[in-house]
Each structure stands twice: as structure tokens, then as C-alpha cells.
Amino acid sequence: MTEILLWDNDGVLVETEPLFFQANAEVLADLGIEYSLSQFRNISLLQGKSALNLAKARGLSDSDILALRETRDARYAELLRGKDLALPGVRDVLHELSNQYRMAVVTSSRATHFEIIHEHSKLLPYFEFVLTVDNVTQTKPHPEPYLCALDKAQLSASAGIAIEDSPRGVTSAKAAGLRCVAVHSELTAASSLAHADVVINRIMDLPVAIVGID
């Protein structure tokens, strides 16, 4: 029996992934490095690695990469600020499901960015707790983020369902022993999400999908 829903953030609750792509593309372009959406899908959404490794491959030192990351993060924060980034339909779905399940967020976002993202979203009251990348040592696709969430909730994997939108997120959830619903988006090919228990095209389809795998 499902007791808790563990939500990814970027691309599931909020429309932030295009902005993160833009921030990376801009700082890499300043170095003469082209960064495509195809590369973003492969490096970030599939592998869970940093686009800044493309700069490192050009010979930049660790200190240069650190400075580049700070510039990228500042630009990303600038792009996020002052916007209501909640995806269409999310508030209604959260309201419906909050009456039936405990809910938490398990995200690869940094805490500072997460706070900016949700300044205007009005989504956080629905969640019991939030785990960001700052709370773990291994990020998705490693199972640690979801294992930490289960530990915090004091539940076994059989009691949880993860809601994801990226291949690396689905891999993380399944490796933690969770069932997983994947939300297909423009950035992810449906075939890349095939290891989820079910793939949906709209977040509004989530309540029915949960019943189907419960």
C-alpha cells in the first residue's frame, strides 16, 4: 500500500530545465564551446553529470571550473528569480493527492536555487520535507537521494512511489526499490523513460497512474 509520494522537482513540479540549459549554454559559449539540447539531454538528464566537464576537457584547471560554476549558478539564479515556475496542473494534482498520501521532494537542485524556484510557486506547503543535492553525497542516478528520503520518512521502498521526468531520476528511484511514474516532456524521449513502471504525458494523469500501480 502506497503511503508516500516522492517528487522530483525540476521538470515535474516546475519548469526550470530550459533555464538551467540556458545558463550552461551561455557560460560555455563565452569559452567558444557550443552546447546543444541533445548534449543537455545526454549529459544532464541521462547521465546526471555536469556540462562544465566540456570546459574541463578543453584544459581548464579545477580553479577555472570552480569559477565557471559560480558564474553559471549566478546566471541560473538570475533566470529563475521573480517567476512563478509551477507547471500547469501541478497545484490541482498536489491538492488532490495531499488528501491521500504523505508527500516529499527529492531534488538534484542546490538548496539556494530551490529556495528561489519556490519563492512564488506556492507548492511547498504540500510537502512534509525536502531533500536537495546538499543533503546527500551521491546524486541521481545513484539511489542515495531516494534511500535517504525513505529513511527520513521511516518507510520501506514498498510504501513509496517516485514521480520523475528524467532517465537518471527513474534509474535512481528504481535502484532504491521504488515504483516510479515518469512524466514525459519535450526534453525526454518516451523510450528513455521505459524503465519506469508507467509513463504519462501530463501531470494531470498522475492520480490514475498511481492507482494503476498501487
Per residue in 101-148, pLDDT (tens digit) is 999 999 999 999 999 999 999 999 999 999 999 999 999 999 999 999
The per-residue pLDDT for 187 is 78
Q: Is the pLDDT of residue 47 over 70?
A: yes
Neighbours of 212 (CB within 10 A): 12
The per-residue pLDDT for 53 is 82
| Crossing angle for the helix pair 90-97 and 206-213, to the nearest 10 degrees | 40
Q: Is the pLDDT of residue 190 over 80?
A: no
Q: Is the pLDDT of residue 191 over 70?
A: no
Q: Is the pLDDT of residue 188 over 80?
A: no
pLDDT band at 82 (very low <50, low <70, confident <90, very high): very high
User: Residue type for 207, please?
Assistant: P
For the ranges 73-82, 145-154, 184-193, the lowest mean pLDDT is seen at 184-193
- Over residues 87-104, the mean pLDDT reads 98
Host H or E run for residue 206: helix 206-213
Neighbours of 133 (CB within 10 A): 18
The per-residue pLDDT for 15 is 94
Per CATH, the architecture of 4-15+85-213 is what? 3-Layer(aba) Sandwich (3.40)
Which residues share a beta bridge with 106?
131
The per-residue pLDDT for 61 is 86
Q: Is the pLDDT of residue 196 over 90?
A: yes
The per-residue pLDDT for 104 is 99
| pLDDT, tens digit (0-9, with 9 covering 90-100), for 5-39 | 999 999 999 999 999 999 999 999 999 999 998 89
- Over residues 90-108, the mean pLDDT reads 98
**CB within 8 A of 109, min separation 6: which ones?**
9, 10, 16, 117, 132, 133
The per-residue pLDDT for 35 is 92
Mean pLDDT of the chain: 94
Q: In what order do the strands lie in the sheet with 160-164?
A: 129-131, 102-106, 4-7, 160-164, 179-183, 198-200
Between residues 132 and 47, the one the model is more confident about: 132
